[in-house]
Chains A and B, each alone.
Chain A
Amino acid sequence: MPEIIYKGRVYPGEQDETVLDTLCRHDVNVPFSCRAGNCHTCMLHCLNGEVSTASQQNLKPALKALNYFLPCQCVPSSDIEVNLPDEEDVYVSARLVEKAKLSPTVWRFRLETAVPVYYHAGQFLNLKNDNWVRSYSLASLPTEDAALEIQVKRMPEGEMSHWLIDEFSPGMHIEIEGPHGHCFYTNDSPQRSILCIGTSTGLAPLIGIVRDALHQGHRGDIHLYHGVRMREELYLHEMLQAMASEHSHFHYHACVSGDEASDGIKHGRASEIALEEHPELKNWQVFLCGAPEMVQKTRMKAYLAGATMNDISADAFTTPDH
């Protein structure tokens, strides 16, 4: 019979027994609820071995790619090692190799680690200094960029942002942990249209996701809406315009809510403009990153406009510095 390895201990299974039943029979304390594959409460991460197709069929493509599965729906055919989601992560040291000002309020940081970090563009890292831990999304692409790139906005109350911008200098080290998050591109349907909406430094993961999609040969249209208040807060504007002229199916829409429209820049909230311009989102993939209220409202609107819940991905840490 297959054995289940969980936190270093081995639990022998019985004939036709699910992973969840095996763990429960051995009084292992794992969360679960419906036992019917619906509630996803029991979701685990498979570290080694194979899980059944049935145990992944309702998961987001991103979760499948990370080898998450539902143990209540999985009768294993051979030994598997499982863990609770994300618990396997540890901090590693990263060195700052580049720091650049992108706008009056946003800085780019490029970090290198001794051991490669395996991640998808759009996932996020936790950065820890002596005083604080904060989450930042990855704008870099593991296949293209040697360094990990994050973008940090100076927040009046954000002590970590002040420290990173004022104190953290090239050559210095910081502890990083991760990656986490399921807001990233998967190439299982390269012909579909993609809608990305980001406010402020919510742009960072979206740049990663768009670059990843283009790099993987996505063929459907990709629309990126970036919203800020004032014109000078737009950053990487020229780079994104250049990307749009290079790829005819990538469309970049810069939106300012508190400033006049001007050449190539729309007036209004990015999420509202995007939904006005794309009222029908059936079969679209949608990525939302930025202010929590915007993400929540837009998730609802995108769903009502026809996108399925599995096709709407949102950045789990919606404020860039909180």
Chain B
Amino acid sequence: MSTLFEKLGGEGAVDAAVDIFYRKVLADDSINHFFETTDMAAQHAKQKSFLTMAFGGPNNYTGADMRAAHAPLVAKGLNEDHFNAVAGHLQSTLEELNVPADLIGEVMAIAGSTKDDVLGR
């Protein structure tokens, strides 16, 4: 029985998705101020870690890590609309890559499971 990560195409799939995904996020004026950074390469690596986790791949993220990492953004007003906007970009990235709908559903469920931690609730 192959894992979700394997079904999606493993690390190659993450590599294919990360540039499309991060570009959508940066181009979205409703959320891109949360991603302003002087180190785009580091930010890009973080997006890749996030996608790896959402794809069911190897990661060591805990809810506490998610909370701590997003706390400064919550302080700046990060809310459910922003979370949903990012999730929407993830979904459309996967659609653009012709990922089957059932696998998209599994990815979106993993991403959705982080909501309370990301929003510090």
B19 contacts the other chain (CB 8 A): yes
Question: Given known contacts A303-B23, A304-B23, is B40 in contact with A40 (CB within 8 Å)?
Answer: no
| Contact of B59 with A309 in the complex, beta carbons under 8 Å | no
Q: How far is the CB of B107 from chain A (nearest CB, A)?
A: 17
- Distance between Cα atoms of A40 and B46 in the complex (Å): 10
Pick the contact of B49: A38, A300, A309 (CB < 8 A).
A38
User: Interface extent on A, as a size class?
Assistant: 10 to 19
- CB pair A36–B23 under 8 Å, yes or no, is no
Given contacts A34-B59, A300-B40, A303-B40, contact A39 B26 (CB under 8 A): no
In the complex formed, the residue of B with least CB distance to A36 is B58
Give the chain A neighbours of B15 by CB distance below 8 A. 58
Q: A36 touches which one: B19, B38, B46, B60 (CB < 8 A)?
A: B60
Contact call B19/A309, Cβ cutoff below 8 A: yes
If A36-B52, A38-B45, A38-B52 touch, whether A296 touches B38 (CB-CB below 8 Å) is: yes
Check if A300 sits within 8 Å of B26, measured CB to CB: yes
Q: Are B23 and A38 in contact (CB under 8 A)?
A: no
On whether the beta carbons of A304 and B26 are closer than 8 Å, the reply is yes
The reply to whether the CB of A83 lies closer than 8 angstroms to some CB of chain B is: no
A58 to B19 CA separation, bound complex (whole angstroms): 13
A39 touches B27 (CB 8 A): no
**Which of A34, A38, A309 makes the CB contact (< 8 A) with B41?**
A309
Nearest CB in chain B to that of A58: its residue: B15
B27, closest chain A residue (CB): A304
Task: State the CA gap A39–B26 with chains docked (Å).
Answer: 20
What chain B residues lie within 8 Å of A296 (beta carbons)?
Answer: 38, 40
CA distance A34 to B42 in the complex (A): 13
Chain A minimum-CB-distance residue to B38: A296
Q: Is B60 in contact with A39, judged by CB distance below 8 angstroms? A: no
A interface residue numbers (CB < 8 A to B): 34-40, 58, 296, 299-300, 303-304, 308-309
Q: Closest 8 interchain pairs by CB?
A: A38-B49, A309-B44, A36-B58, A308-B19, A38-B48, A36-B59, A299-B40, A39-B45
Chain B residues with a Cβ under 8 A of chain A:
11, 15, 19, 22-23, 26-27, 38, 40-41, 44-46, 48-49, 52, 57-60
